[in-house]
Amino acid sequence: MNAFFKQRHRLRTLVAVVTAAGIGVATASCAGHSAAHTAAGLPAAASSVSSTGAGISSGTSSGTSTGAGTGAVTTPGGPSASTAGPAPSSTTAGPKAPTTSATAGSSGPSSQPGPVGPPNQPAPPVPPPVSASNLPNAAKVSWRPMGGLVAMTVPPAHDIGIGECAKVHGAVAWHEQGYVSAQNTPAQEDIFGFGDAASAAQQFSAIAAGLNACTQTTRDLQRTAGVPQDAVVTTTATAVRAQAWSRRWTGFAGQSAAGPQTNHYYLVQRGPTVILASFTEFGASPPNPYDPVGDPAVLTMLSASVAS
């Protein structure tokens, strides 16, 4: 989803690196920002897990892990394209799961608001990342954390790309947690801290606007790449200061893993904190497919995690 700085997320230390399609979710960035992972048994676009997930693209700075790592995970040489869905590792990626990428004046809607709040405002307390067992479809795909929560470096311009369709501006803190399923597909949670609730609310609205317009944004990218313009982004759940999307599309090398994929994005704002979580399914008919009917409960869970 974009032009982002190539930030190195800890997930990129994995033996296999695959960029997952993400909003938000980032070329790892998630993600999207941005951790991407390869799915076993799917078309061989890439054979590894990348830190760019379906949602967020990260910038050039590296993060510092705040928790114990789980070690590198070798992914089978299966397809690295995710199955559908809009944007979290700290950058966007091909088949991405959520990904994020920090970029100065990079991708994202041209209507993105300007600087938000004084750059020296203190960051709010960081809520703990959600438990892997609470992630969508956990009972079927057995998510597990990849290392601990990472404190990402916010780029000087305070712009962090959210896949191809949006970006975060003005964050004073950025933390990221990556996850991987038993099928070697990626998930990601990005936690953005702002100086005040008003700034966070503004960015929530800007990110939501970008994701709501992501069908056309993605199709424009597909047209330029010469692949089928088949992207469809759908809102799957809404709540107060919370929204979820899925993006089904054919990814392509450079922007995401090649092939059909679905990215799932979850955006929540509470006080001065904005959370973007995402995960990716690879292939036109992924094993153990996720039913978005569960997305309202995911938004409730993420909202509660900020207050916990």
State pLDDT tens for residues 132-170: 999 999 999 999 999 999 999 888 788 899 888 999 999
Amino acid, single-letter form, for residue 158: H
The whole-chain average pLDDT of the chain stands at 72
Which is it for strands 242-251 and 232-239: parallel, antiparallel or unpaired? antiparallel
Highest mean predicted confidence (pLDDT) among 16-25, 61-70, 191-200: 191-200
Residue 261: which pLDDT band, with cuts at 50, 70 and 90?
A: very high
DSSP states along 196-230 = SHHHHHHHHHHHHHHHHTHHHHHHHHHHHHTS---
Q: What is the pLDDT of residue 158?
A: 81
Q: What is the pLDDT of residue 124?
A: 82
3 assigned to some structural domain = no
User: What is the distance between the alpha carbons of residues 60 and 166, in angstroms, rounded to a whole number?
Assistant: 18
Q: For the chain, how many structural domains are there in total?
A: 1
Q: What is the pLDDT of residues 201-258, one digit of tens each?
A: 999 999 999 999 999 999 999 999 999 999 999 999 999 999 999 999 999 988 778 8
Structure tokens at 151: 């404190």
Q: What is the pLDDT of residue 242?
A: 98
Question: What is the span of the domain harbouring residue 84?
Answer: 10-307
4 assigned to some structural domain = no
Measure CA of the first residue to CA of the last residue in the chain; give whole Å. 32
Q: What is the pTM of this model?
A: 0.70
121 or 28, higher pLDDT: 121
Q: What is the pLDDT of residue 101?
A: 52
Element of type H or E holding 138: helix 138-141
User: What is the distance between the alpha carbons of residues 158 and 287, in angstroms, rounded to a whole number?
Assistant: 38
Q: Read off the DSSP letter of residue 53.
A: B
163 assigned to some structural domain = yes
- Assess whether pLDDT exceeds 70 at residue 186: yes
User: What is the distance between the alpha carbons of residues 264 and 242, in angstroms, rounded to a whole number?
Assistant: 14
- Assess whether pLDDT exceeds 80 at residue 121: no
User: What is the distance between the alpha carbons of residues 244 and 236, in angstroms, rounded to a whole number?
Assistant: 5
Q: What is the pLDDT of residue 182?
A: 95
Q: What percentage of the chain exceeds 90 in pLDDT?
A: 52
Residue 274: which pLDDT band, with cuts at 50, 70 and 90?
A: very high
User: What is the distance between the alpha carbons of residues 249 and 179, in angstroms, rounded to a whole number?
Assistant: 22
Element of type H or E holding 139: helix 138-141
State the average pLDDT over residues 183-187. Answer: 94
92 assigned to some structural domain = yes
Nearest Cα neighbor of 19 from 63, 59, 49, 41 is 49
User: Could you tell me the sign of the dihedral formed by the alpha carbons of 100, 274, 193, 304, in that order?
Assistant: negative
Q: What is the pLDDT of residue 139?
A: 95
Amino acid, single-letter form, for residue 205: S
287 assigned to some structural domain = yes
Q: What is the pLDDT of residue 176?
A: 96
Q: What is the pLDDT of residues 66-92, one digit of tens each?
A: 443 333 332 222 222 333 333 333 333
87 assigned to some structural domain = yes
**Residue carrying structure tokens 């809520």:** 127
Q: What is the pLDDT of residue 307?
A: 76
